[in-house]
Structure 1
Amino acid sequence: MTELDAEDNKLLVLARGAMGRTGGNGGAAVRDTDGRTYAAGEVALAALELTALQAAVAAAISSGAEGFEAAVVVAGRFSDLGVSAVREVTASARIVFADAKGAVFEVLDPQVEGDPATRPGIPEGFDLETESEVFE
C-alpha cells in the first residue's frame, strides 16, 4: 500500500465518506490550489449521470476553483472521464486511486518519473471492476 501525506489522506477520508453517504459504488474528492476540498459520490439520474470524480470536479469548478493539486478516487476506474477533466484544468495534479476499503493501489503523478499514466503497461480503458478482483 502506498502511504499518503496528511492532505491526501484527508481527501481519501472525504471520498470514502461521500461514497458512504450516497450509497453509491464510488466516491471522489479534489483539493484546489487554494487548499479547498470538494467531495462527491456518483450521480445517477435519468437526466444526468456523472462519476464521483466528475461530480467533485464540477462542484469545485462551479465554486470558482482555478486549479487542482490532487484528487482521490475510491472504487473508480482509470478510464474515468473525471481524470481527463482534472488534467484539463491542471495537467500536473496528482490523482490517487484506492479501493472501496481505502487501500491505495495507484498514484498518477505527472511530476514523478515513471508515472503509470506515462508508461506503457496500463491498457487504455482499463476497467478496475471487471479486469481485477484484487481490489474488491
Structure 2
Amino acid sequence: MKNKEAAVGNRRKALCALLAAGTLALAACSSGTGIPALDREPGEADQWPGDKSQLENLDSQSVRFLVANGGADYFAVASADKQTACLFKFVDGEDSAAGGCGGAGGADAIVEVNTPETAMMLVRAGTDISHWEDAGWTRIHENVLVF
C-alpha cells in the first residue's frame, strides 16, 4: 500500500512540476501588450524615424520596427506602464507620420487608424482576424493589418 501511495504522490509532484513549467513558458512568451516585439531587446532597425515630440507620454526606449510594406515603415511603441500601445506609419520621403494609440488590455484590436491616406490596425498577437480579412483587411505583420 505504501508503494502505491508513494507512486501516486510522485505522479502528482511530476504533474505539478509540468504544469508549473508550462505556466512559466506561457508567461515568458506572452506580452502584456500582446505585441511580442515590445518584449524583445531593441535592434538597429528600432530607431524612431520621426520627430521626438511624437513620443510624448510614451516610452522612447520601447520603439520597435515591425514591418516595411508598400513604401512605408510601421513602428510600435508603448507607454512606460505598457497600458497603452501605439502604431505609427512613416511613408518614405514624407516628413509626417500617421499613428494612433489604444489601450493594450485584452481586446484583439488595440487601435485602428483611419486617415484619407491610410487605414491600419494594431492587433494583439494570435488574434483571429478572419472577420477583418472578410471585410478587406490584409495582415502584413502578426500585429499589423492594413486596408
Specify which structure has the higher proportion of strand: 2
Q: Greater CA radius of gyration, 1 or 2?
A: 2
| TM-score normalised to structure 2 length | 0.29
Larger RCO (CA under 8 A, 6+ residues apart): 1
| TM-score normalised to structure 1 length | 0.31
